[in-house]
Amino acid sequence: MVGELRRRFWQPPRAHGQIIEDRSVSFLELFYDLVYVVVVSRAAHTLAEDVSWRGAGQFAVIFALIWVGWLNGSLYYDLHGREDGRTRTFVFAQMLLLALLAVYTSGAATDTGEEFAVVYAIFLALLTYLWYSVQRQDSAEYRPATMRYLAGMVIAIIGVGVSIFLEPRARLWLWAGLVLVFLLVGAWVARTSERRPSRGMAGTDAIVERFGLFTIIVLGEVVVGVVDGLAGADRTPIAVLTGMLCLTIGFAFWWSYFDFAGRRRPVDRPVVVASWMTAHLPVTMSIAALGAAMVSAIEHAGDDRTPVPTAWLMAGSVALGLLSLTLVMRTLGDWERFPDLFRPIGSLLMIAAAVTLAVGWWRPVPWLMASAMVAVLSVVWLNAAKRWLRMDDRDAVLPD
């Protein structure tokens, strides 16, 4: 009885190649992502309190570390997780560490950087053990790629461990370098995987949905930014108007992402899937940073012009989001299937990014600046809708 319970409750992870293409996202994955709502919110709150180039740089590094952790946990579950007690136990262990990480996230770039590094190193060590448990049962065809990935994870753990003993500025630079190393190792593993007859990575329906859910998480930061801004400012009519217009920018981003990229699968090649994932980092980072900028925009709603740091954070976030969305679109199978629709949209997004930066340089009053960004995003979407209505097979363009 005990042996049978253990066999069913504590199964080994799925091996590489055992991909479930049409798997639905589980309730456990949704619960896991919910913890990241708190972690991302803590990072964005810090940026909202320090809208500056330094604050933006610190936020970018911290957010990238958070995203790398989320990507690792999400990929492991999608490729190797099961509906058993072992998977659940290790997912809950990750969530415990993430909750503790959130405590130190707001001051990770300054006074709680040591504690953040300790918890993050333990979190990476747990993920590394999980990937190692897969490598132990890998066939010869997957073992070299898995060993490379594990080597990258070990380097990351060592690097984060070393950062515990550094000064805050040096620690941030090391963390930024580790993020770059992780992305390069991931690209290297994906490229070498293409030489194999079987696949160890794929843009499954479930992982596409997970990336969409994470995008919704960061879009929630736009709502939080507006609410925090209105709660902390004098709620004059102009402040309320500015807040509602800022929130509309978030709506426009949702509309653009989920019509142009969300729920669409990338081309079924490991190197393209890796590019698709990497391009989501600046997309989600820019949206979260935009939420932080909303707080300052509402606080200065009555000013004659938007403050320089706030204007550039808003404009830069929107521009980066649009350019990154173009990169995501270029990895999609629909980019090649419907070139007359998607390629003009990509060009329009790049033009819209340039116009947005011009608005940031102009620095009108906050409500007008928000209105201009909504107008730019609306023009892009309306042009896409016009092209879509002209297509003969319109239903084929809509994601399932």
Residue 214 has pLDDT above 60, yes or no: yes
Q: How far is 176 from 112, CA to CA, in rounded Å?
A: 17
pLDDT confidence band for 19 (50 / 70 / 90): confident
Q: How far is 107 from 371, CA to CA, in rounded Å?
A: 33
What sign for the dihedral angle of Cα 40, 46, 52, 54?
Answer: negative
How far CA 110 is from CA of 105, 114, 170, 338, 350, in Å, comes to: 10, 9, 11, 48, 35
* Mean pLDDT of the 2-11 span: 69
Residue 300 is given by DSSP the state T
Note the pLDDT of residue 197.
44
Note the pLDDT of residue 256.
93
Q: How far is 196 from 33, CA to CA, in rounded Å?
A: 32
Note the pLDDT of residue 195.
56
Q: Which domains does the chain have, with CATH numbers?
A: 24-193 (no CATH), 205-394 (1.20.1410)
- For the stretch 280-322, pLDDT in tens is 999 999 999 999 999 999 999 999 999 999 999 999 999 999 9
What's the whole-number average pLDDT of the chain? Answer: 89
Q: How far is 345 from 359, CA to CA, in rounded Å?
A: 21
Q: How far is 25 from 209, CA to CA, in rounded Å?
A: 7
Closest to 198 measured CA to CA, from 129, 263, 275, 146: 146
* Mean pLDDT of the 214-226 span: 94
Q: How many CB atoms lie within 10 A of CB 272?
A: 18
Q: Given its phi and psi angles, is residue 25 left (phi above 0), alpha (psi -120 to 50 degrees) or beta? A: beta
pLDDT confidence band for 198 (50 / 70 / 90): very low
Closest to 378 measured CA to CA, from 190, 249, 223: 249
Q: How many CB atoms lie within 10 A of CB 286?
A: 23
pLDDT confidence band for 96 (50 / 70 / 90): very high
Residue 200 has pLDDT above 70, yes or no: no
Which residue do the tokens 């055992």 mark? 18
Residue 226 has pLDDT above 50, yes or no: yes
